[in-house]
Amino acid sequence: MTTTPQLSSSSQQAMLKAEALLQKMTLSEKLGQLNQVSGQYGGISADLRQAIQSGNVSSVINEVDTPTINELQRIAVEESRLGIPLLIGRDVIHGFTTVFPIPLGQAATWCEQTIEAGARIAAIEAASRGVNWTFAPMIDITRDPRWGRIAESLGEDPYLCSRLGGAMIKGFQTESLNERTAIAACAKHFAGYGYCESGRDYSFANISENELRNTVLPPFKMAADLGVATFMPSFSDLNGVPASGNHWLMQQVLRDEWQYQGFVVSDWGSIRDLTVHGLSEDDKHAALLAFNAGIDMEMVSDCYAKHLPELLSENKVDESKIEQMVRRILQLKYALGLFENAQTNSEEFVALANHEHLLAAKDAATKSCVLLKNADNILPLDSSQLASIAVIGPLADDKYEQLGTWIFDGDEQHSVTCLSAIKALAGADTKITFEKGLDTTRSQSEEHFSKVINAAQDSDIAIMVMGEESILSGEAHSRTNIDLPGAQVQLIEQVVATGTPVILVIMAGRPLTIANVNDKVSALLYAWHPGSMGGEAVADLLFGRAVPSGKLPVTFPRVVGQVPIYYSQKSSGRPATNETFVHQNNIPVRATQTSLGMTANHLDVHFSPLYPFGFGLSYATFDYSEIRLSEHRLTMESSITASVTISNRSEVDSQEIVQLYIRDLVASTTRPIKELKGFKRLPIKAYSSIDVDFEINAELLGFYGPNNTFITEPGRFNVWIAPHSDTTNYQVFELVSEALNN
């Protein structure tokens, strides 16, 4: 579907002003607006000063020292001929000084308000330093936990990612970019980066157009419709054409179909990389391809700066197209109010990492933790009943590692670790013994194990805070083995062997393969990298001051060989079933080839995940009623309501994330066996019930069909309203093309 985003009156103003300025610009000044250069971390070299004075710099990335930013802006405004201010870009990914959970953790909140609030705070803090543009949100669909950048994503599902990514954009940009604390956002990485082969960063993605349209592009379409200020193409190769030189993607889809009005910035050096990909001969050719494909501004490399003048004189590029690119960039500068005032007075802003910001980070971390296991309701812990607690693990008291990847401006001084928060919450008489056990999560040495074992033996309970350090995920940090690294599994096994119950808290940038410890521990809380206030959030949850409510935004495999594994698979002609699954150990020697049921199973591991998408426990117990449908038929114009009653059968007030899934049973291209189509995070008081409704209309049932256009086909659908994706209780309804005669 194509909709034309409406321009607000302030953006219309920005367009008029940009147009007037454009008329005054020389060719060289126009070309200068296409360049983003790297900051110098608190300095301004003579070359940089001169380049700004000459109007050759449009934007600076990675400068966060406010006096330096103000001086850069002053040079641009007072010493360049036309006084055009600078865009100051920075990766503000999950907080600024106050660090929120990694985006994948934020996605586990399934809470738009929480995510919007986090982005708002990140924007306020970044703007207070002079940053006016972030390269976030990352809305790549990610189904491969080997890929290090899964940490920066909002998970595997296009619907969840679209809603949460939209919330992030709103938080950064607010209602109006002209607001002093607003910063421009950037939808990245367009498109297919999350599908890189074998989870290796920067590699290639082969994705059919149908899959792209139905799964990968929807969050980007949402971002364009919402008016995200900028887009960034992916580093990766999409179906043989690297995204940074992909005309189909940036021109046909983004501009022609979606009518996107903002501008496209390359990724760091990604235009130059086109030659390494083998798409271009050299930098000049790369500049031509990127230009034709639709990149408006080049990040850091200088293919445009060096070669566009020559390409113009050879009539290979068109000046009117350059003007269109400049127009878009100037419009953003006007929309941000930079022409009125490009200076930042940090004192006009609230303090960085203030109490309120840290409380918001704690709220996000609390909602993001997912309780995966709670045998015999061992959690929450009753501090009055515990004489002694052993706190164990390399991540239990590490202010830095809990922050996660991509936190250039995060300040670990504000971090509260699990150890300090547990000490604060445990009873005054409770003895707490801390043993790190391993120097880092990667350590192989067992030299400290005996001290850990003694501590565990002497304690009523062991809380182990394990996982992976932040450097093991993020850009260019992919892994083939996603087990707990180092000797952590051995350490967990030895602590479990003491007989002291083990509560395992995992901090990680991805779903790790934890089947090897899952059955051994008594409880398992997945905390992702939870950010500044992660320790307080975890301790509150363990001691029942807060109730776990996060749910998985991504499927947890049993073993890495199952990857990619996601809930919304297609059926296949011979779907895996419990009945036909035979483990290889049970296959008779020289059994005939056809003896195994011939379905889509692996021989060595059951086809189901360890934990399904959408899963997460609470201290409350919820019962879902049968699904009720207002009608069993709807037309292309009408809608029906699907509802359930959810009862909290416990004495605990909690929140439940209720999920709506639909399956289109027969369609002209095959459809997933289940697709998320709605969710609500709702409070449900102890011993009370609520009715939850979802409206279903034809648009919700549409998809990109055989011609890759959005269509809605009549037919039968299954509908589930469920606590997670792996439930069986559904209803059936029918979409009919003709009007209903009542």
> Residue 209 in contact with residue 168, Cβ under 8 Å?
no
CA 696 – CA 698 distance, rounded (Å)? 7
Q: Give the integer Cα–Cα distance in Å for 654 and 644.
A: 18
Q: Please, what is the minimum distance in Å from the beta carbon of residue 267 to ligand NOJ?
A: 5
Residue ranges in 475-494 that form contacts with ligand NOJ under rule CB under 6 A: 475
Nearest to ligand NOJ of 267, 540 (CB atom) = 267
- Give the residue nearest to ligand NOJ (CB): 135
Dihedral sign for Cα atoms in the order 442, 446, 448, 450: positive
Rounded Cα distance between 194 and 234, Å, is: 9
- The minimum distance between CB 89 and ligand NOJ, in angstroms, equals 8
**Distance between CA atoms of residues 668 and 710, nearest Å:** 12
- In the complex with ligand NOJ, the residue whose CB is nearer, 268 or 304, is 268
Q: In the complex, what is the shortest distance from the CB of residue 474 to ligand NOJ, in angstroms, rounded to a whole number?
A: 10
- How far apart, in whole angstroms, are the C-alpha atoms of residue 414 and residue 532? 6
Phi, then psi, of 143 in degrees rounded to 5: -125, 15
Footprint of ligand NOJ on 490-549 (CB under 6 A): none
List the one residue from 29, 116, 237, 267 that touches ligand NOJ (CB under 6 A).
267
- Measured at the alpha carbon of residue 579, what is the angle toward residues 577 and 585, in degrees to the nearest 5? 100
Cα–Cα separations (whole angstroms), residue 471 to 161, 439, 487, 488, 490: 24, 15, 18, 17, 22
Least Å distance, CB 406 to ligand NOJ, is: 8
For ligand NOJ, the closer of residues 61 and 372 by Cβ is 61
The 10 Å CB-count burial string (b at 16+, else e) for 295-315 is: bbbbbbbebbbebbeebeeee
Q: Which residue, 229 or 552, is less far from ligand NOJ as judged by CB? A: 229
The distance of closest approach from Cβ of residue 140 to ligand NOJ in the complex, given in angstroms and rounded to an integer, is 10
3-state secondary structure of 545: coil
Beta strands in 290-392 (DSSP E): 298-299, 370-374, 388-392
Residue type, 264: V
Distance in angstroms (rounded) separating the CA atoms of residues 252 and 469: 41
* CB-nearer residue toward ligand NOJ: 168 or 565: 168
- CA 607 vs. chain centroid, Å, equals 26
Distance of closest approach, residue 408 Cβ to ligand NOJ, in angstroms: 9
Compute the distance between CA of residue 703 and CA of residue 699 in angstroms, rounded to an integer.
9
Instruction: Report the C-alpha gap between 92 and 99 in whole angstroms.
Output: 10
Q: Which is nearer to ligand NOJ, 235 or 339 (CB)?
A: 235
Residue that the structure tokens 């029942």 belong to: 544
Residue 593 is given by DSSP the state G
Specify the DSSP class assigned to residue 543: T
- Per the annotation, the verdict on 540 as an active-site residue is no
Rounded to a whole number of angstroms, the minimum distance from the CB of residue 151 to ligand NOJ is 12
CA distance 331 to 15: 6
CB of 131 to ligand NOJ, least distance (A): 13
Site for ligand NOJ in 380-439 (CB under 6 A): none
157: its two tokens: 């599902």
Q: Shortest gap between Cβ of 322 and ligand NOJ (angstroms)?
A: 24
Going by C-alpha positions, the residue among 666, 610, 568 that lies closest to residue 161 is 568
CB of 408 closer than 8 Å to CB of 131: no
Those residues with Cβ within 8 angstroms of residue 411's Cβ, 6 or more apart along the chain or in another chain: 97, 352, 353
Q: Which of 172, 195, 268, 679 binds ligand NOJ (CB under 6 A)?
A: 268
Considering CB under 6 A, how many residues would be counted as binding ligand NOJ?
Answer: 7
d(CA 104, CA 595): 42
If the CB atoms of residues 164 and 722 are measured against ligand NOJ, the closer one turns out to be 164
Contacts of ligand NOJ in 80-99 (CB under 6 A): 91
Least separation, in Å, of the C-beta of 31 and ligand NOJ? 22
Binding to ligand NOJ, residues 210-229 (CB under 6 A) = none
Query: Is 215 in a helix, a strand, or coil?
Result: helix
> Which is catalytic among the residues 267, 273, 296, 398?
267
Among 133, 135, 434, 720, binds ligand NOJ (CB under 6 A): 135
Toward ligand NOJ, which CB reaches closer, 142 or 214? 142
How many Å apart are CA 573 and CA 564, to the nearest integer?
19
Can residue 237 be called a binding residue for ligand NOJ (CB under 6 A)? no
Instruction: Indicate which single residue of 188, 328, 558, 663 sits in contact with ligand NOJ (rule: CB under 6 A).
Output: 188
Catalytic residues: 267
Enumerate binding residues for ligand NOJ (CB under 6 A): 91, 135, 188, 235, 267-268, 475
